[in-house]
Amino acid sequence: MNPAIVIPSYWAEDSARVQTPGAYDHSTDLHSPKPELDMCLASLEQVRDICRIIVLVVCPLSVTDAARERVERLAAAHPSLTITIVTNREASRIRERVGEIAPKVPGEPVSLRGYGAIRNMGLAVANILAHDSVIFLDDDELVLGPDFMQRALYALGRETRQGLPILAKSGYFYNREGSPLADPGKADITHRWWTKRIEFNRWMRRALSGTRISRSNYVCGGCMALHARAFTRVAFDPWITRGEDLDYLFNMRMYGLDVWFDNEWVVRHLPPPSNHRAPRFMQNVYRWYYERAKLRYAARQHDLVPVTPASLMPYPGPWFSDELDERVRKTAFARMLLTDEHDGYLHIWRHGRAQAEQYANENKSKYIRFQSFWPSIMNGLWNDTDLVQMLEECTCPQT
């Protein structure tokens, strides 16, 4: 196989920008003395048979040059790695080419803006460079041993004993305490209706104790491997506000494929702290309302496989079932009263559900339409001569 590792890396202009709640979970300060990406790349230096690494530099347009310079310096500090750096400038060229291949495609589904579109950009870059498999890794993760590539590619492209293709698989992560399970967290009323820990941990314990490869109800986007037979057929959803990795599992099932779980492939996740909960909660409200509407819409399409909450129990089925409305209402009300983000949760309690439902209804059919273009987009980008040259010029050391 000819794999590539894709690492989305989020950057902001200064520490003030980093502390401002925005579209992404966290961004690295351009002046940070110890950026997460540096530690991630350092952990990859130990890996046997390491492949090309594609770093997607997500940042405001105004700091594109500064972000490129910073990431280039980080890449130069790890000369044993072949790193291709993609910034807004290269992404714009690729986005233009996508528009030429599929002029009627809605929105900007391949770009460096929005979780799903960023993942699609990673797939597009790997495809342009003729890689037949993609390994996603997050920049706040560390690989744990020299056999990372061997574990990542184990069984990928093969079949189960039942003859089912293994074209997408997920590993999992250890948290700071070294546990693969969700943090029990606080037991107070502000978390009572908005926690996945019980159902997730029930599923995870079962998956960890079973056979190495099993059918998954879970995806760790920072420890995920896709074969070209999956990623050239099924795209990530650009309209989901977060959780695009788990959503990819739903998309695969809609198109008759599966994501598999590998209980011997693991990384360590070391995310920076986050102090702003209300904006992330609102993103999740949008996410689950949209997910529910999209899957219900897709279930009515005769050529797609229905994906129902019942088929995804104990996790994550409850999160896009009819329970969702009550979960949102009760959580927003409790947090409005009992946290210091009163105004944020008050807005969500009063208006958030209606806004999320409107967004879901307006966008629920767009992914299905986009999917009709995706195979031709990937076919048109494959080994595109001009784009290959552009990307090779952005590779350190240049190949």
HEC profile for 207-230? Answer: HHHCCCEEECCCCCCCEEEEEHHH
Read off the pLDDT of residues 336-353 as tens digits, 9 standing for 90 and up: 888 888 888 888 889 888
Dmax (CA) of the chain: 58
User: CB of 136 within 8 A of CB of 222?
Assistant: yes
The pTM of the full predicted model, rounded to 2 decimals, is 0.93
Among positive and negative, which fits the CA dihedral 146, 149, 150, 151?
Answer: positive
Read off the pLDDT of residues 8-27 as tens digits, 9 standing for 90 and up: 999 988 644 443 334 577 78
pLDDT, residue 160, reads 92
Domains observed in the chain = 3-390 (3.90.550.10)
Q: SS3 of 274, please?
A: coil
pLDDT, residue 19, reads 38
Rg of the chain over Cα atoms, rounded to whole angstroms, equals 20
Read off the pLDDT of residues 258-279 as tens digits, 9 standing for 90 and up: 999 999 999 999 988 766 677 8
C-alpha span between 189 and 15 (Å, rounded): 33
C-alpha span between 243 and 43 (Å, rounded): 25
| Percent over 90 (pLDDT), the chain | 72
